[in-house]
Amino acid sequence: MTDEICIKRCIELANKACGKTYPNPLVGSVIVHNGKIIGEGYHKMAGEPHAEINAINSVKNPELLKDSTIYVSLEPCSHFGKTPPCANKIIEIGFKKVVIGTLDSHDKVNGKGKKLIENAGIEVISGILDEECKELNKRFFTFHQKKRPFIVLKWAESGDGFMDKNFKPFQIGNPLTKQFVHQLRSEEHAILVGTNTALHDNPSLTTREIVGRNPVRILIDFDLKIPRDFNIYNDQAETLVFNSLKESDEGKFKFIKINRENFLENLMKKLHEQQIQSVLVEGGRYTLQQFINSEIWDEAIIIKDENLYLGNGTHAPDFPAKSYKTEIFRNNIVKFYKNY
């Protein structure tokens, strides 16, 4: 069993909690004794044990631990958070070896976990499937390094490039893509829409087509035009309302004041303050185009029905990027873009 195979398994395990660990990263861990995996674990939710601890606790015969190698996709933590540091636990057990996927650039860890373990005389290797482990935590790393959330743009358009019909909502995606979009909603930390989309479509922005958590809703509504009985104000998810009129905390609803000048830059700062690690931007055109023009986006997903002609309505954003992947969902083509 190679180090790569074991770290790959760590990534697979970590991904099981995708969308559920905010503000913590996704982490998986396996324990290998004599070439055999004897324990596995992953971090399931903030406040719950870290991956390494779950892997350690899953081993039936704890006697074997000191003769084992522990693999972990992200550097073990060295600070006291909601749980004690994993580096200390690894030292206390006295593992034979520690293999780390990628180091944790978060200020609180940043090489300290690795050093601590090495200083205790345990062999440590790091940088195994480094790229893949960074990709696994693209949201977490972007948030800490760029001091803004990871931004995913998403919209659906017709063959002739419209997002709605005569400025009225029109369902372009089919049931398969709808399910896929709800999967995205469950994985990203938050979901954002502009004023017109909230007004015209009255979306609830919750995860319904699959079992998963609801993202934090973000509404841009400068003049607080959206009536309080609209779906976006139902009690099913936390909601941040960026506006120019009031700053107030009303239980699940937080009103945050923001200026129209330098809007996107300020929004990124405020979302960072709110600890929002990623945002799925669902439209409409005006809102999406701002992110595109400012080059503030990391991924984009465009759903297209090539055979649908709507003739008139809101134009899809101007988006000159080149896709790196295409998937077919029956009559919908889904194109994927990366900006990193």
Ligand X SMILES: NC(=O)c1ccc[n+]([C@@H]2O[C@H](COP(=O)([O-])OP(=O)(O)OC[C@H]3O[C@@H](n4cnc5c(N)ncnc54)[C@H](OP(=O)(O)O)[C@@H]3O)[C@@H](O)[C@H]2O)c1
Q: What residues line the site for ligand X (CB under 6 A)? A: 155-156, 163-164, 167, 169, 172, 193-197, 200-201, 220, 222-223, 260, 263, 282-287, 290, 314
Around 180, how many Cα atoms within 13 Å sit in the side-chain half-sphere? 20
Q: Minimal distance in Å, beta carbon 86 to Zn ion?
A: 3
CB of 104 to ligand X, least distance (A): 34
263: enclosing H helix or E strand: helix 263-273
Among ligand X, Zn ion, none, the one that 167 touches (CB under a kind-dependent 5 to 8 A) is ligand X
Residue 77 Cβ, how far from Zn ion at the closest point, in Å? 3
Q: Is 77 in the site for Zn ion (CB under 5 A)?
A: yes
Q: Choose among ligand X, Zn ion, none what residue 86 binds, the Cβ cut-off being 5 to 8 Å by kind.
A: Zn ion
Binding residues for Zn ion, how many (CB under 5 A)? 3
**From the candidates 4, 40, 52, 265, which is the catalytic residue?**
52
Q: Are 160 and 294 in contact (CB under 8 A)?
A: no
Pick 101 or 194: Cβ nearer ligand X? 194
Among 8, 50, 165, 189, binds Zn ion (CB under 5 A): 50
Nearer to ligand X, 196 or 277 (CB): 196
Q: Is 52 a catalytic residue?
A: yes
Q: Which stretch binds Zn ion (CB under 5 A): 54-62, 74-82, 96-104, 171-179?
A: 74-82
| 83: amino acid identity, one letter | T
Nearer to ligand X, 201 or 299 (CB): 201
* Structure tokens belonging to residue 49: 């044990």
- Determine whether 171 is exposed, middle or buried from the number of CB atoms within 10 Å of its CB (0-12, 13-18, 19+): exposed
104 binds, among Zn ion, ligand X, none (CB under 5 to 8 A by kind): none
77 binds, among Zn ion, ligand X, none (CB under 5 to 8 A by kind): Zn ion
Beta-ladder partners of 124:
98
Measure the CA–CA gap between 209 and 212, rounded to whole angstroms. Answer: 9
CB of 247 to ligand X, least distance (A): 18
- Residue (113 or 212) nearer to Zn ion, CB: 113
Q: Residue 245 gets which letter from DSSP? A: S
61 contacts: CB under 8 Å, gap ≥ 6: 38
| 86 binds Zn ion per the rule CB under 5 A | yes
Residue 106 as a binder of Zn ion (CB under 5 A): the answer is no
Q: Burial-class residue 180 by CB neighbours within 10 Å (0-12, 13-18, 19+).
A: buried
Determine the residue with CB nearest ligand X. Answer: 284
Q: Which is nearer to ligand X, 40 or 282 (CB)?
A: 282
DSSP 21-84: STTSPP-EEEEEETTEEEEEEE--STTSPPHHHHHHHH-S-GGGGGGSEEEEEE----S-SSS-
Rank residues 16 and 168 by Cβ distance to ligand X and give the closer one: 168
| Least distance between ligand X and beta carbon 300 (Å) | 12
Stretch that binds Zn ion, among 32-40, 44-52, 235-243, 320-328 (CB under 5 A): 44-52
3-state secondary structure of 105: coil
Rounded to 10 degrees, what is the CA torsion of 114, 34, 129, 153? -100
Question: 112 with 78: CB under 8 angstroms?
Answer: yes
Q: Which sequence positions are flagged as catalytic?
A: 52
Residues engaged in binding Zn ion (CB under 5 A): 50, 77, 86
